[in-house]
C-alpha cells in the first residue's frame, strides 16, 4: 500500500511539473516531454549476448555491462534505435570498456525487438587505429534525401577521440569514411579532439519523417562538448568547421553560471529546421559549484536552443531550465551516479516526438512530446555551380552539360571553356544553350592553348555567330568574389583555367566551396576503346596529362577537391540507352543527337558507345552517393600520373561508382520533358 501511494504521489508530481513546463514553454520549443506510463527503460544490458569480434577473433559479451546513448531514425514504419553497448572487458571505469552499436526496432516507439549481434563495431579496417580498443560510441543518425543513412559517432582508441562519419543503405551494412574534419582546411583539423555531432534535419511531409536539411546549398552540423560549434558540408561526409575572424572554430553555446549547463553544453540529437528556426536539443552538465541548485553536481540534463534558419550561427533563444533532467531511479543509478538524461535520438513518429536518451550511462529510456507544430522549414535554394569544360572533342562533355541543365539542385552561374580553341568551344556552348532554351546563361572563354586533339564537333560550333567572349578566368574569380564559400566548380577538362585562376588570385580561389573534377587514374587506366577490356594498370589520364602543373596547383590550393578518375568513370552509353535519349525529341536531346553523330564521323577507332567520363563528375556534385569518395594523398608527376603516396589526404577520390544507379539518374534527367 505504501509503495502504491508513493507511485501515485510521484506520478502526480511529474504531471504538475509537466503542466508547469507547458505553461511557461515558448512556442518554438519541441515538447513538453512526458515519460510513458510504462516501458522505461526501453533497452537494458543483456549479459548473455555474444558475437565473434573481428579484432579479437573470439566471442565477446558485447552488451554485458551498459546500453545507453541512443540514436534514432524512422524506417519502414518503425522506430530504429542504434545504441551504445559496452562489453565486460577492460577496467571498471567510464570509457574503460569496448563500445559497439546495437540495433533495435519498435512499432510503437516503446517496446523494442533487438538484434542478437551489433551492427557497427571496430574491425580490421582503415579506422581500427582510431577505434580500438575503446570502440565506437554515442551515435547520432540522419537520413539523406535519397535514403542513405549518415551516422556521426565518436571514435575512441583510449588515447584520442574524434567524430567519425559512416553511411549505410540499410542500417546494417556500413561504409566508414573516417573523421569528419580530417581533410578540412588542408588538414588543419586532422588531429583535433572533438565529439558529439548532430546534423540539421527537416520534416519531409511527403515521407512523414525527418531527413537531412540543406540551407543555402549546404548541410549544417552542430558539434562539440565544452562549447557547441558549427560545421558545413557539401555531401554529408566531408565537413569543415565554421571559423571566427581569428581562424578558430566559432563557439555558439558556452557554459552559463547558475544554469544546468554551467559546467559545459554538449550537442544532443540532430537539430530540426522549423518555421521558427533551427531547434536544437542539447545536453548540459551541471557544475559542482555555481551551477543549478535544483540539480545535483555533475548531473546531465537536456535543454533547447533556437538558431536563425537564415544564419545557423546566430542564437535567437535558449532555455534557462532543462526540459528533461534526472529524476527517476533508473536515471540516477548506474555507472554515472550523478545521473544523466543524455539526449541523442529524436524522431517524429505517429504524430508525436519521441526523444531517446541515455540513463546514468547504463540504460536507454524515452520521453514523448505532442504533435509538432510549425515544423515546415523554409524552402532551400539550389547549389551555385560553374562548369569548366573542353566540350567539342569527345562527346561526354555534351552529356555532362545536359545533366547540369536538367538538375534543379544546381544553379549554373555560367560555363567556362578550357583547352585549345576556347573561343570556338564557347560558340559551341552558345548554340547548344540557345537551342535548349538556356541562352541567357553566361559563357566565357578560358585560356587558349595548343591543341593536338580532334575538335570533332567544330562544324556544329561554327554555325554559331562569332563574337568575343568574356575572359573565363576573370569570370570565375568574379563569381567567387560575389559568392564566397558557395560555389562548386565542376571541372571536366584540362585544368588550364584552374591553374591560371590560382596564379592570378590564390586567396579568392580558396573561397570556392569545392572543386569536383573528372581526372586522374589511380589504380585503373583506360579500357580498350574497341573491345572494352578492362585495364588494371593506371594511365596518365587526359585532363591531368594536358596540364600536370594545374593539377599540382589545385591539390595544393587549400580548396576541398573531389576527384572522379578513370577508376569510376568508364561507364558506357549503349545502343538502347542512346535510342532512349535520341528518340525523346526535346530541343536538348536533339542537340545531343547532332553532336553525337558529328563525334562519330569526326574520329575513328572508338566504340559507338560513348564513355561517360564527365557526367559522373556532374552527378557527384548532385548525388554523391552514386560515387562514394575515399580520402587519399595523391602526387602528380610531370607526365600526369596521379599516384597514391604517404601523407595526409589532399583529395577525396571516387574509386568505384554505382553504374546502374548512375545511368538511371542520367537517363531520367536528360529525357525529362522540361529543362531546368
Q: Structural domain boundaries of the chain?
A: 2-369, 383-670
Q: Which residues, other chains included, contact 236 with Cβ-Cβ below 8 Å and sequence gap of 6+?
A: 142, 144, 148, 150, 165, 167, 199, 212, 219, 624
Residue pair 446/472 in contact (Cβ under 8 Å)? The answer is yes
CA–CA distances in Å: residue 167 to residues 147, 181, 215, 658:
10, 16, 21, 15
Burial of 198 (0-12, 13-18, 19+ CB in 10 A): buried
pLDDT grade for 4, boundaries at 50, 70 and 90: very low
Tens of pLDDT along 33-78? 999 999 999 999 999 999 999 999 999 999 999 999 999 999 999 9
Tens of pLDDT along 125-141? 999 999 999 999 999 99
Q: Is the pLDDT assigned to residue 16 strictly greater than 50? A: no
Give the CA count within 13 Å in the CB-facing half-sphere of 479.
Answer: 27
Give the CA count within 13 Å in the CB-facing half-sphere of 538.
Answer: 21
Tens of pLDDT along 536-580? 789 999 999 999 999 999 999 988 899 999 999 999 999 999 999
Q: Which residues, other chains included, contact 121 with Cβ-Cβ below 8 Å and sequence gap of 6+?
A: 53, 54, 62, 100, 101, 135, 136
> Looking at per-residue confidence, does 91 or 394 come out higher?
394
**348 phi, psi to nearest 5 deg:** -100, 120
Residues, the chain, total? 676
pTM surpassing 0.85? no
CATH class of the domain defined by 383-670: alpha beta
Q: Which CATH architecture has domain 2-369?
A: 5 Propeller (2.115)
Tens of pLDDT along 588-626? 999 999 999 999 998 777 789 999 999 999 999 999 889
Write out the three cell numbers for 459: 562544324
Tens of pLDDT along 423-469? 999 999 999 999 999 999 999 999 999 988 899 999 999 999 999 99
Q: For residue 24, how many other CB atoms are within 10 A of its CB?
A: 12
Q: Which residues, other chains included, contact 335 with Cβ-Cβ below 8 Å and sequence gap of 6+?
A: 65, 66, 94, 360, 361, 362
Distance (Å, whole) CA 672 – CA 667: 8
Mean pLDDT of 92-107: 92
Q: Is the pLDDT assigned to residue 263 strictly greater than 90? A: yes
Amino acid at each position: 500500500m505504501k509503495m502504491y501511494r508513493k507511485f501515485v504521489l510521484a506520478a502526480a508530481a511529474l504531471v504538475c511539473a509537466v503542466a508547469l513546463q507547458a505553461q511557461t514553454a515558448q512556442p518554438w520549443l519541441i515538447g513538453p516531454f512526458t515519460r510513458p506510463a510504462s516501458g522505461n527503460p526501453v533497452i537494458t544490458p543483456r549479459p548473455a549476448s555474444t558475437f565473434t569480434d573481428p579484432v579479437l577473433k573470439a566471442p565477446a559479451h558485447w552488451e554485458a555491462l551498459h546500453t545507453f546513448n541512443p540514436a534514432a531514425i524512422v524506417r519502414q514504419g518503425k522506430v530504429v534505435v542504434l545504441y551504445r553497448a559496452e562489453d565486460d572487458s577492460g577496467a571498471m571505469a567510464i570509457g574503460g570498456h569496448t563500445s559497439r552499436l546495437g540495433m533495435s526496432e519498435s512499432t510503437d516507439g516503446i517496446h523494442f525487438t533487438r538484434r542478437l549481434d551489433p551492427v557497427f563495431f571496430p574491425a580490421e579496417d582503415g579506422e581500427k587505429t582510431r577505434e580500438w580498443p575503446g570502440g565506437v560510441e554515442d551515435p547520432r543518425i540522419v537520413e539523406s534525401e535519397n535514403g542513405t543513412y549518415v551516422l556521426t559517432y565518436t571514435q575512441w582508441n583510449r588515447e584520442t577521440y574524434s567524430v567519425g562519419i559512416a553511411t549505410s543503405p540499410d542500417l546494417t551494412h556500413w561504409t566508414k569514411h573516417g573523421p569528419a574534419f580530417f581533410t578540412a582546411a588542408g588538414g588543419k583539423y586532422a588531429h583535433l579532439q572533438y565529439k558529439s555531432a548532430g546534423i540539421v534535419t527537416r520534416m519531409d511531409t511527403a515521407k512523414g519523417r525527418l531527413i537531412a536539411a540543406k540551407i543555402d546549398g549546404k548541410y549544417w552540423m552542430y558539434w562539440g562538448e565544452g562549447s557547441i560549434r558549427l560545421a558545413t558540408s557539401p555531401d554529408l561526409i566531408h565537413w569543415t568547421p565554421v571559423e571566427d575572424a581569428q581562424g578558430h572554430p566559432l563557439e555558439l553555446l558556452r557554459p552559463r553560471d547558475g544554469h544546468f549547463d554551467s559546467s559545459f553544453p554538449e550537442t544532443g540529437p540532430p537539430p530540426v529546421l522549423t518555421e521558427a528556426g533551427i531547434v536544437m536539443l542539447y545536453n548540459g552538465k551541471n557544475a559542482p559549484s555555481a551551477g543549478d541548485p535544483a540539480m545535483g553536481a555533475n548531473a546531465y540534463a537536456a535543454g533547447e536552443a533556437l538558431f536563425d534558419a537564415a544564419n545557423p550561427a546566430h542564437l535567437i533563444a535558449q532555455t534557462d531550465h532543462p526540459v528533461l533532467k534526472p529524476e527517476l531511479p533508473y536515471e540516477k543509478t548506474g555507472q554515472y551516479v550523478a545521473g544523466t538524461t543524455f539526449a541523442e535520438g529524436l524522431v517524429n513518429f505517429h504524430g508525436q516526438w519521441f526523444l531517446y536518451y541515455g540513463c546514468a550511462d547504463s540504460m536507454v529510456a524515452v520521453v514523448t512530446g505532442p504533435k509538432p507544430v510549425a515544423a515546415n522549414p523554409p524552402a532551400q535554394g539550389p547549389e551555385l555551380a560553374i562548369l569548366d569544360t573542353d566540350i567539342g572533342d569527345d562527346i561526354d562533355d555534351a552529356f555532362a552539360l545536359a545533366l547540369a541543365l536538367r538538375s534543379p539542385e544546381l544553379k549554373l552561374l555560367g560555363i567556362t571553356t578550357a583547352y585549345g580553341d576556347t573561343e570556338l568551344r564557347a560558340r559551341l556552348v552558345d548554340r547548344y544553350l540557345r537551342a535548349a532554351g538556356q541562352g541567357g546563361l553566361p559563357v566565357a572563354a578560358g585560356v587558349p592553348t595548343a591543341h593536338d586533339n580532334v575538335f570533332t564537333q567544330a562544324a556544329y560550333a561554327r554555325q554559331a555567330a562569332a563574337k568575343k567572349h568574356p575572359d573565363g578566368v576573370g569570370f570565375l574569380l568574379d563569381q567567387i568574389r560575389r559568392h564566397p564559400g558557395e560555389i562548386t566548380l565542376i571541372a571536366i577538362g584540362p585544368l588550364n583555367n584552374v591553374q591560371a585562376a590560382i596564379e592570378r588570385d590564390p586567396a579568392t580561389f580558396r573561397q570556392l566551396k569545392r572543386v569536383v573534377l573528372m581526372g586522374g587514374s589511380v589504380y585503373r587506366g583506360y579500357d580498350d576503346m574497341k573491345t572494352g577490356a578492362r585495364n588494371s594498370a593506371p594511365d596518365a589520364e587526359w585532363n591531368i596529362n594536358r596540364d600536370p602543373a594545374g593539377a599540382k596547383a589545385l591539390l595544393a590550393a587549400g580548396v576541398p577537391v573531389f576527384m572522379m578518375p578513370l577508376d569510376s568513370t568508364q561507364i558506357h552509353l549503349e545502343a538502347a540507352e542512346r535510342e532512349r535519349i535520341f528518340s525523346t525529341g526535346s530541343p536538348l536531346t536533339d542537340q545531343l543527337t547532332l553532336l553525337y553523330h558529328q563525334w562519330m564521323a569526326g574520329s575513328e577507332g572508338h566504340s559507338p558507345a560513348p564513355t561517360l567520363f564527365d557526367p559522373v563528375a556532374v552527378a557527384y556534385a548532385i548525388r554523391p552517393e552514386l560515387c562514394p569518395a575515399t580520402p587519399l594523398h595523391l602526387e602528380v608527376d610531370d607526365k600526369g600520373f596521379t599516384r597514391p603516396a604517404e601523407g595526409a589526404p589532399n583529395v577525396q577520390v571516387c574509386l568505384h561508382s554505382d553504374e546502374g544507379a548512375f545511368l538511371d539518374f542520367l537517363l531520367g534527367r536528360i529525357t525529362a520533358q522540361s529543362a531546368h
